[in-house]
């Protein structure tokens, strides 16, 4: 059971240090825990969490080890910092920064090849769900990925991200079962996970953890989600 906190574009180095030092002492129950700070805060988080089991993940990673790719960061650079893994293909990257299934596939494959753990995100938009296209979208997004021991998929219905609308446990289970039938890897649920709904979601047979956005920015909420998931 993995609970990962995606901080998005929140928590600069100073705040990341304060948060991670407090996280060291928090009661997180018995689950694997990871935080995903913005690039500039990774070093601080790695340092503050040194000697703990809490993993530090980036929020994205380029496929080349180096080169003329302004604004991008590579796997060797992340590994040099002590970063353990990376999110790839978050819906905000797809929606606002034009990332495609093919680009996501290149990022995932090369991050895995270079030794990072990967959380690859998939999920349908509200319009796609309403049009009955959820399965088609998930099949398309997953068709470019290959199972790997270091790969985890996060099913994140776009309509549930940052909206306060959570998929029902039944909706999540149905989607997770489909994902697992297509790719044999652990599958996290993401989309407005809160301390109040975490236990019910992770109790579903094919839900192997959660990718938490907004609620991961508050230490008490994040720790409560970890504890709820460990029961
Ligand atoms: C996310 O950013 O991956 C996410 C699931 O966000 P939130 O929990 O805020 O919906």
Q: What are the pLDDT digits (tens) for 119-171?
A: 999 999 999 999 999 999 999 999 999 999 999 999 999 999 988 888 899 99
Q: 3-state DSSP: the chain helix, strand, coil percent, rounded to 5?
A: 45, 15, 40
pTM greater than the 0.75 cutoff: yes
> Would you give the distance in Å from CA 37 to the centre of its chain?
11
Question: What is the residue with the minimal CA distance to atom 3 of ligand 1?
Answer: 213
Q: Which atom of ligand 1 is nearest to the CA of 154?
A: 3
Provide, rounded to the nearest whole percent, the portion of the chain with pLDDT above 70.
100
- Could you say which of 92, 99, 109, 156 is catalytic? 156
Does position 36 have pLDDT exceeding 90, yes or no? yes
Active-site residue, 92 included: no
Q: How confident is the model at residue 226 (pLDDT cuts 50, 70, 90)?
A: very high
Give the bridge partners for 119, in sequence order: 87, 152
pLDDT at 231: 85
pLDDT at 71: 97
> What are the strands, taking DSSP E only, across 14-99?
32-36, 55-58, 85-88
């Amino acid at each position: 059971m993995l609970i990962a906190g995606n901080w998005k574009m929140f928590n600069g180095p100073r705040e990341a240090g304060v948060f991670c030092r407090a996280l060291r002492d928090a009661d997180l129950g018995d689950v694997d825990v990871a935080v995903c700070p913005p690039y500039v805060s990774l070093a601080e988080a790695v340092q503050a969490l040194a000697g703990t089991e809490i993993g530090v993940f980036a929020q994205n990673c380029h496929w080349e080890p180096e080169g003329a790719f302004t604004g991008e960061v590579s796997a060797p650079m992340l590994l040099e910092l002590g970063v353990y893994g990376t999110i790839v293909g978050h819906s905000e990257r797809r929606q606002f920064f034009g990332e495609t299934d093919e680009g996501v596939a290149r990022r995932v494959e090369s991050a895995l090849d270079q030794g990072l753990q990967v959380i690859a995100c998939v999920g349908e938009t509200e319009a796609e769900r309403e049009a009955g296209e959820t399965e088609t979208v998930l099949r398309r997004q997953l068709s470019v990925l290959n199972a790997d021991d270091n790969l985890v998929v996060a099913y994140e219905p776009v309509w549930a991200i940052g909206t306060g609308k959570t998929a029902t446990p039944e909706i999540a289970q149905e989607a997770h079962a489909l994902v697992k039938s297509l790719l044999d890897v652990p599958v996290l649920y993401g989309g407005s996970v809160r301390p109040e709904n975490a236990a019910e979601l992770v109790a579903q047979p094919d839900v192997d953890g959660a990718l938490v956005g907004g609620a991961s920015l508050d230490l008490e909420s994040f720790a409560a989600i970890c504890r709820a998931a460990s029961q």
